[in-house]
Amino acid sequence: MEGGMDGEELKRLTKEEISRRIREGVKAVIEQVLEGEMTEHLAAGYRERTPSRRGERNGYYTRDLITPAGRIAQLRVPRDREGTFLTEVFARYKRMTGEVEEAVLEMYPQGVSTHKVAAHGGPVPGAHR
């Protein structure tokens, strides 16, 4: 093949690209849900002035989240001035979604390392080599 790329390398790159695009899509959806939750929390949209408004937005903070789709880096999480906004997407101070955390908790007592899991089912989201 021209360019020095064989079929296996092309498959690997394609799989990596698909995974990257899936993670980007998951990130976009989560950020939209977070914005919707903030709008509901404040009873007003971005820069919207209503009599029922219950506070002000105060920018964003970023965090990483490990999901079944892989590690979502630099997720933008909105915050309010009073610091009372809590999302239902993930628990406060948690870095993994429930599905990933459950899988890790099931594997650990059985002595399954991330290397063993990767050998059978692909890379473990968030695991570092």
Q: How many CB atoms lie within 10 A of CB 54?
A: 12
Rounded-to-integer distance, Cα 8 and Cα 45, Å:
48
State the chain's mean pLDDT as an integer. 81
The DSSP 8-state label assigned to residue 65 in this structure reads E
- Evaluate the CA torsion angle 85, 89, 91, 92 in order and state its sign: negative
> How large is the average pLDDT for residues 117-123?
50
Rounded-to-integer distance, Cα 15 and Cα 118, Å:
15
Q: What is the pLDDT of residues 54-107, one digit of tens each?
A: 999 999 999 999 888 889 999 999 999 999 999 988 887 777 777 766 776 676
